[in-house]
């Protein structure tokens, strides 16, 4: 009587399975070697070897065929095989690998998917030149790579199989997450998608704040390399041209006032980005959400937001881009005259909406966008150095320059009224105040208050230990904030004549500052933004999700939310949530450094160094209300963005009342974009 399979003992069944596995692997090994030896005139996709391997992979419910095929490739590589494949063999191997991954995904066989991923990395190193459109469209874009569950399982596997269990857990977890990040970059995952998954895994495994910053530094470095396993760019699918090749991403422009390369956050290695952090109790919130290439978000409170299509919500209205010529040197300062600064309560001031520009040609120019074809209103001559800062009020324009002077001009007659001298280095910030006063800050580390009527410095109201790069002042309270190269934000009560706080925490230059009420936001070259209390002098939160220096910050008063822009080209929206601050929206439509953020009550204007601009709004009924995701800040929607040019820009200003954004280029040309929108 024949003994049935069910009557076998567990040990016998295991032995029989081992024999079956060995038999399949031996067959696969022979088929694999014969596939590699096919002649130049043979079609691998029509060969017996290819068909048999494919059948073994597809018909095996236990996945032995798929895992065995992956093992064949690995053994071939480790034995010294060069993997020099013809184009036809290359496509055949990737098709088999794709099938193995697809079948493993259906079985939830994460070990085979993991092994296939590692083999892909090894094959790329051996045969980096064999890049085909087929691979980019089919292997790289498999959905499994975008699933958090796979990367969580892969991370757990790496942790379990690490040879040394005595290593520091946080350091070990960071090391394995670096490996995970390398694979994500190799597969061309978009930065925001990949970082969301890495950060989620890190938080679940209690990776500390300092380790997370180190990890972000390395991740940014490999993303900047933009070399995938099969030659695909990490800019991913939206940047792949019709020929299947990744479109190059423009490099960020370099400001002549930029921090030295060894201290800068752009293009450095991840080792150089390991910042020391204070041990004070602060909150680091970085719950990054996924975003589509159009910058829109669908959000999910328990995971990455759903991707939605913005195109259906955009109005097909005509836009207008004008080129304004007049400067003979790079535009280095740009200011928009707002209704608030000219006290235009009823809309009868013609200068509200003017743009004022300064340049390396030492001149200041006033532009009137309402006069099409004759926008240049006046040219102000008097400086002997590059103009770095501009402000204005109802009747005057004030400008600060590298020549260490501050000049006050008459807006109507264009005459030079006063030249204020007292700084010992270039002037970086100017502000017109009520009562014929001017506030200035410079690279000599001082903040001075001037009385325009007497042409004198009324007082040196603040001193910093190094160059001041940014300044904020609340005229209603007399509170002044300034920061710069010493990485410290100083707050003074100038009416009381005292220093209130020295806010320490940043480790590199502070580039931007915004103060609204009791909230102060600073953006730094250390890749973080910090939120401070003005009255208490404490850091309430650290916003640490960018991959480069944060050049601009703004505060949305209606939503009590924060917007940050960085050299990584990303725009991030933050809002208060259960006592902390979380990132509720990421915008990825810009490909270069964000230079300007202007948040109004109804509109949001953005400008980037690659001369790209974008205008955001919220439907009228949503102002101050929650979006469908339960988030106020996530309610901002991309409205329009004009075609960008090849010119690089240094400064951007926006007029939200009239939906205008103006950029100043290195070639001396201003580009004025106006979205003609019917609200």
Q: What is the mean pLDDT of residues 99-103?
A: 78
| Residue 479: inside a domain | no
With beta carbons less than 8 A apart as the criterion, state whether 250 and 592 touch.
yes
Residue 117 host element (H or E): helix 110-126
d(CA 244, CA 302): 35
Q: Which domain holds residue 224?
A: 7-236
From the number of C-beta atoms within 10 Å of its C-beta (0-12, 13-18, 19+), residue 506 rates as buried
**Given pLDDT bands bounded at 50, 70 and 90, which one contains residue 371?**
confident
Domain for residue 676, yes or no? no
Query: Which string of DSSP letters, residue by residue, matches 160-190?
Result: HT-S-SSS-HHHHHHHHHHHHHHHHHHTT--
**Does residue 133 lie in a domain region?**
yes
Tokens standing for 160?
Answer: 């379990």
Dist CA 407 CA 400 (whole Å): 7
573's enclosing H/E stretch is strand 571-577
Q: Is residue 458 part of a domain?
A: no
Q: What is the pLDDT of residue 492?
A: 95
The predicted structure's pLDDT at residue 184? 78
% residues pLDDT > 90 (the chain): 29
pTM: 0.57
Evaluate whether residue 605 is within a structural domain: no
With tokens 């490996």, the residue in question is: 179
Residue 302 reports pLDDT greater than 60: no
Smallest CA-to-CA distance from 99 within 112, 88, 87, 82 is with: 112
Residue 490 pLDDT > 50, yes or no?
Answer: yes
Does some domain include residue 14?
yes
Is 28 domain-assigned?
A: yes
Residue 545 has pLDDT above 90, yes or no: no
pLDDT at 252 exceeding the cut of 60: no
Q: What confidence score (pLDDT) does residue 1 get?
A: 44
Domain count for the chain, please give it: 1
266, pLDDT greater than 80: no
Instruction: Kindly report, residue by residue over 394-449, the tens digit of the pLDDT.
Output: 889 999 999 999 999 998 899 999 999 999 999 999 999 988 899 999 999 999 99
Task: Say which residue, 150 or 283, is predicted with more confidence.
Answer: 150
Supply the angle between the helices 209-225 and 169-186 in degrees, to the nearest 10: 20
**Mean pLDDT within 4-32:** 76
CA distances from 143 to 247, 375, 544 (A): 22, 52, 28
Query: What is the predicted pLDDT for the residue at 539?
Result: 93
Residue 655: closest CA among 605, 618, 584, 610: 605
For 165-197, what is each residue's pLDDT tens digit? 666 788 888 888 888 887 777 776 776 777 788
- DSSP letter for 240, please: B
Res 652 pLDDT > 80: yes
Q: Tell me the CB-side half-sphere exposure of residue 580, using CA atoms within 13 A.
A: 12
Q: Give the pLDDT band (50/70/90) at residue 314.
A: very low
Q: Please give the average per-residue pLDDT across 325-344, as a whole number.
A: 84
Q: Taking Cα atoms as reference points, which of 229, 251, 247 lies closest to residue 237?
A: 247
Indicate whether 71 belongs to any domain. Answer: yes
Q: How confident is the model at residue 612 (pLDDT cuts 50, 70, 90)?
A: confident
- pLDDT of res. 438: 95
What is the mean pLDDT of the segment spanning 324-337?
92
Q: What is the Cα–Cα distance from 568 to 192, expressed in whole angstroms?
A: 11
């Amino acid at each position: 009587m024949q003994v049935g399979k069910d009557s076998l003992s567990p040990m016998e069944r295991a032995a029989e399975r081992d024999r079956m596995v060995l038999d399949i692997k031996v067959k696969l090994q022979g088929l694999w070697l014969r596939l590699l030896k096919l002649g130049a005139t043979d079609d691998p996709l029509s060969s017996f070897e290819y068909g048999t391997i494919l059948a073994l992979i597809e018909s095996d419910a236990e996945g032995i065929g798929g895992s065995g095929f992956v093992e064949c490739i690995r053994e071939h590589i480790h034995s010294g095989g060069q993997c020099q494949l013809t184009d036809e063999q290359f496509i055949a191997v990737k098709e088999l690998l794709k099938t193995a991954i697809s079948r493993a995904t259906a079985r939830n066989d994460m070990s085979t998917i993991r092994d296939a991923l590692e083999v892909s990395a090894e094959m790329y190193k051996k045969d980096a030149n064999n890049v085909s459109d087929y691979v980019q469209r089919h292997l790289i874009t498999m959905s499994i790579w975008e699933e958090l569950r796979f990367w969580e399982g892969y991370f757990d596997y790496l942790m379990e199989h690490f040879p040394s269990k005595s290593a520091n857990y946080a350091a070990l977890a960071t090391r394995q997450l670096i490996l995970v990040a390398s694979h994500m970059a190799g597969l061309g995952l978009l930065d925001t998608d990949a970082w969301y998954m890495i950060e989620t895994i890190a938080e679940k495994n209690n990776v500390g704040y300092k380790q997370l910053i180190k990890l972000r530094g390395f991740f940014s470095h490999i993303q900047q390399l933009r070399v995938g396993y099969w030659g695909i760019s990490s800019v991913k699918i939206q940047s792949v041209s019709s020929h299947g090749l990744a479109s190059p991403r423009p490099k960020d422009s370099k400001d002549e006032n930029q921090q030295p390369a060894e201290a800068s956050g752009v293009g450095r290695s991840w080792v150089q980005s390991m910042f020391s952090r204070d041990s004070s109790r602060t909150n680091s919130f970085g719950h990054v959400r996924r975003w589509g290439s159009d910058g829109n978000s669908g959000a999910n409170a328990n995971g990455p937001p759903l991707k939605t299509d913005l195109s259906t919500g955009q109005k097909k209205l005509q836009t207008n881009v004008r080129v304004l010529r007049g400067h003979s040197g790079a535009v280095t300062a740009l200011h928009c005259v707002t209704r608030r600064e000219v006290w235009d309560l009823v809309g009868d001031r013609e200068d509200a909406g003017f743009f004022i520009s300064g340049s390396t040609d030492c001149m200041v120019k006033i532009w009137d966008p309402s006069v099409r074809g004759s926008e240049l209103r006046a040219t102000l001559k008097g400086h002997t150095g590059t103009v770095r800062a501009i402000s204005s009020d109802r009747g005057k324009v004030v400008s600060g320059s590298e020549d260490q002077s501050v000049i006050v001009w008459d807006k109507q007659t264009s005459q030079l009224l006063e030249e204020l001298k007292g700084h010992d280095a270039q002037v970086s910030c100017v502000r017109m105040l009520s009562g014929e006063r001017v506030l200035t800050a410079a690279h000599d580390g001082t903040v001075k208050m001037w009385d325009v009527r007497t042409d004198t410095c009324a007082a040196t109201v603040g001193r910093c230990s190094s160059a001041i790069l940014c300044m904020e002042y609340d005229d209603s309270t007399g509170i002044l904030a300034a920061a710069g190269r010493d990485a410290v934000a100083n707050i003074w009560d100038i009416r009381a004549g005292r220093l209130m706080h020295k806010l320490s925490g940043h480790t590199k230059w502070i580039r931007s500052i915004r103060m609204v009420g009791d909230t102060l936001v600073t953006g730094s070259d250390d890749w973080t933004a910090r939120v401070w209390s003005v009255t208490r002098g404490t850091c309430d939160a650290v916003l640490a999700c960018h991959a480069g220096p944060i050049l601009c910050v703004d505060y949305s008063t209606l939503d009590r939310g924060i917007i940050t822009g960085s050299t990584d080209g990303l725009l991030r929206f933050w809002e208060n949530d259960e006592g902390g601050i979380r990132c509720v929206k990421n915008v990825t439509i810009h490909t270069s450094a964000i230079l300007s953020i202007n948040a109004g009550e109804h509109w949001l204007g953005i400008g980037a160094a690659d001369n790209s601009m974008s205008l955001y709004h919220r439907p009228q009924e949503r102002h101050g209300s929650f979006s469908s995701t339960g988030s106020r800040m996530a309610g901002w929607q991309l409205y329009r963005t004009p075609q960008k040019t090849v010119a690089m820009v240094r400064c951007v200003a926006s007029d939200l009342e009239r939906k205008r954004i103006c950029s100043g280029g290195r070639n001396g040309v201003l580009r004025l974009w106006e979205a003609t929108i019917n609200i």
